[in-house]
Amino acid sequence: MKPMIKSPLQIARASYQPKLPEALKHHVVLKEGKFTESIADHEDIKALFPNTYGMPLIAFETGEKVDYPIANAAVILSGGQAPGGHNVIAGLFDGLKKMNPSNKLYGFLGGPAGLVDHKYIELTKEIVDDYRNTGGFDIIGSGRTKIEEEEQYEKGAEICKKLGINAIVIIGGDDSNTNACVLAEYYVQKNTGIQVIGCPKTIDGDLKNEMIETSFGFDTACKVYSELIGNIQRDANSSKKYWHFIRLMGRSASHITLECALQSQPNICLISEEVEAKNATLTDVVEEIVKVIVHRAEHGLNFGTILIPEGLIEFIPAMKKLIEELNELLAHNDDFNAMETDEEKRQYVKGLLSPESSKVYRDLPKGIARQLTLDRDPHGNVQVSLIETEKLLIEMVAKRLANLKAHNDYKGKFSSINHFFGYEGRCAIPSNFDADYTYSLGYTAALLILSGKTGYMSSVRNLTAPAFEWIAGGVPITMMMNMERRHGKLKPVIQKALVHLDGAPFKYFSAHRKDWADESQSYVYPGPIQYYGPTEVCDQPTKTLLLEKE
Ligand code: FBP
């Protein structure tokens, strides 16, 4: 294989030593805390997870030397890329090797499918060293295959037995960690001796709770998008001629959009959770945008920026109902899948929807209606990244402005440009925060494995303090669960954390957005992520985290 060609920054980052919580730099002792309960539906979850329900919280503290047994572990990267994944692996590798150099780490290739299909590599020092502090998941690849059948669990157990693997670390979002917990329970029930540990990954920032302060990758991705938004704002402020409609990844939750707004102060920022709470229609959303555009035009400002969360459409109540109906309708629907033309599919869907949803569906531009019926992801979710909400809004806003113009109520000029930022940030070189956080998560996962734990998620807390004050431990995954309807059935799942309207980040935004919308100039230009330099420039966590911890 040809050696990787590295940029000067990559070469410099290869020797960056991520910071660890102080306790992890020494011998550690495992301290058990309170026994736990699921966030809701206690009896149902307890019945489904008789062996892994209610386990205590865990913290690692400085202590005496412990002789750990030999452990061979394997790691899986699951779902969308997030900056820092390689450092979880590096931390896991270093943790395992430090406790016993004979410990081995394998990587299953291409996501959870690698476990079932027995595709793997042994991760050696040479391989891991090549990927330290880099973005991407390409060390072993990722995938979205859902492991949910007994046959898949058994195939996994078979390869683990063959390789002598006694623990699997699944690095994933809420759905992947839910599956990790199901797998952990199954392996205990079958007495396989295989432990399963989860790790909180997703740029979306929606895997968080009291014990998981943030998912990794959110920090870096938001910083990359905010840099781009800032650059666009400077461009808009220079040429003064375009309204930029910027859709941001994040699936259902608007955390990314909110964080980018806090960092860049755009003229308008929509938050899906607020739209839902206000029971707003698409027309209400358009009116809100138009109001600001008209106001700025009255001051001669025919330009601006609008941030749109990619999941917006799912939070407009009428659209939400339509999507829910479509989800049920399209789950395993062979008739629909066999249809060849879009028109055939359109007619078929229209006929089966409730009268209200059928009307909403008919009124949508055809392109958007088609995007709503595209394949669901393996977890049954609409792939919101494929729905071009920014274009839908541009179309509706332009129509409304033309109407106002015809009545002499708007004298401005409306030229728009659409953007979608998602893939640009998911594999960025991790910020110092993400590099340190992920390395610590991986190292903590190694300790959980060596302590014989299963059904836990690696947790590193107190993240707004300097890294040496971070607290490392484990959280039982069942603690984060409740029952929800998926693919038409009630299932135990980790509850997604949406933006709380009574939370500090939203409150801050809501208190300032009027100033950001008006004619005074309040754009912020965050600039690119800095890896070297003063700590206030290089080591800051997200504004969301800072406000939440205030
Ligand atoms: P995860 O939840 O798996 O981390 O993925 C996040 C995400 O980037 C979402 O923001 C986005 O909607 C989706 O993945 C896109 O999926 P894909 O990578 O399959 O295009």
The model's pLDDT over 315-354, given as tens digits with 9 standing for 90+, comes to 998 888 998 888 888 877 788 888 888 888 888 888 889 9
Q: Going by CA atoms, what residue is nearest to atom 20 of ligand 1?
A: 385
The minimum-distance atom of ligand 1 relative to the CA of 215 is: 4
The minimum-distance atom of ligand 1 relative to the CA of 426 is: 8
Helices and strands, counts by H and E, the chain: 23, 16
Q: Ligand 1: distance of its center to the CA of 310 in Å?
A: 11
Give helix 355-363 / helix 342-352 axis angle, nearest 10°.
150
Question: Terminus-to-terminus CA distance in the chain, angstroms?
Answer: 50
Q: Which of the following CATH numbers is that of domain 28-217+430-494: 3.40.50.450, 3.30.70.3270, 3.40.50.620, 3.30.479.30?
A: 3.40.50.450
Q: Going by CA atoms, what residue is nearest to atom 12 of ligand 1?
A: 251
CA angle 16, 17, 23 (to 5 degrees): 160
Question: Using 50, 70 and 90 to split pLDDT, how confident is the model at 14?
Answer: very high
Do 219-239+248-390+502-548 and 28-217+430-494 fall under one CATH topology? yes
Q: Is 381 in the pocket of ligand 1 (CB under 6 A)?
A: no
Q: Ligand 1: distance of its center to the CA of 422 in Å?
A: 8
Alpha helices in 250-388 (DSSP H): 255-264, 272-277, 282-298, 312-315, 317-330, 334-338, 342-352, 355-363, 366-372
Q: Going by CA atoms, what residue is nearest to atom 18 of ligand 1?
A: 80
Tokens 């650059």 sit on residue: 231
CA-to-CA distance for 312 and 306, rounded, in angstroms? 13
Amino acid at 64: E
The minimum-distance atom of ligand 1 relative to the CA of 256 is: 10
Q: If you average pLDDT over residues 129-150, what whole number do you get?
A: 95
Partners of 475 in beta bridges = 457
Tokens 């801050």 sit on residue: 508
Question: Given a cut of 70, is residue 1 above it in pLDDT?
Answer: no
How many other C-beta atoms lie within 10 A of the C-beta of residue 234?
Answer: 12
Q: Ligand 1: distance of its center to the CA of 240 in Å?
A: 34
Q: Is 474 in the pocket of ligand 1 (CB under 6 A)?
A: no
pLDDT score recorded for residue 379: 64
How many other C-beta atoms lie within 10 A of the C-beta of residue 241?
Answer: 12
Tokens 């302060």 sit on residue: 213
Q: Token pair of 8, please?
A: 């000067």
The ranges assigned to domains in the chain are: 28-217+430-494, 219-239+248-390+502-548
Best probe residue, ligand 1, of 212, 255, 308, 385 (max atoms within 8 Å of C-beta): 385
- Whole-angstrom CA distances from 212 to 92, 199, 349, 386 are 18, 10, 40, 29
Query: What average pLDDT is seen over the chain?
Result: 94
Give tens-digit pLDDT for 503-547.
999 999 999 999 999 988 899 999 999 999 999 999 999 999 999
Give tens-digit pLDDT for 356-399.
999 888 888 888 888 888 877 766 677 777 889 999 999 999 99
pLDDT score recorded for residue 148: 87
Q: Going by CA atoms, what residue is nearest to atom 14 of ligand 1?
A: 80
Q: Is 253 in the pocket of ligand 1 (CB under 6 A)?
A: no
| Furthest C-alpha separation in the chain | 81
Q: Is 156 in the pocket of ligand 1 (CB under 6 A)?
A: no
Partners of 304 in beta bridges = 243
The predicted model scores a pTM of 0.94
Q: Token pair of 225, please?
A: 């998008």
Give tens-digit pLDDT for 202-225.
999 999 998 999 999 999 999 999
Best probe residue, ligand 1, of 174, 199, 201, 203 (max atoms within 8 Å of C-beta): 203
Q: Is 220 in the pocket of ligand 1 (CB under 6 A)?
A: no
Q: Ligand 1: distance of its center to the CA of 378 in Å?
A: 12
Q: Going by CA atoms, what residue is nearest to atom 8 of ligand 1?
A: 80
Give tens-digit pLDDT for 291-300.
999 999 999 9
Rounded percentage of the chain residues whose pLDDT exceeds 70: 99
- Whole-angstrom CA distances from 234 to 122, 225, 247, 262 are 48, 14, 18, 16
CA-to-CA distance for 162 and 69, rounded, in angstroms? 19
Exposed, middle or buried, 374 (CB in 10 Å: 0-12/13-18/19+)? exposed
Q: If you average pLDDT over residues 213-239, what whole number do you get?
A: 98
Q: Is 548 in the pocket of ligand 1 (CB under 6 A)?
A: no
Amino acid at 451: S
Q: Which CATH architecture has domain 219-239+248-390+502-548?
A: 3-Layer(aba) Sandwich (3.40)
Question: Given a cut of 80, is residue 439 above it in pLDDT?
Answer: yes
Q: Ligand 1: distance of its center to the CA of 142 in Å?
A: 11
**CB neighbour burial string for 246-280, b if at least 16 within 10 angstroms, e if fewer:** bbbbbbbbbbbbbbbbbbbbbbbbbbbbbbbeeeb
Question: Given a cut of 70, is residue 176 above it in pLDDT?
Answer: yes
Question: Given a cut of 80, is residue 188 above it in pLDDT?
Answer: yes
Q: Going by CA atoms, what residue is nearest to atom 7 of ligand 1?
A: 80
Instruction: Show which residues are catalytic.
Output: 204
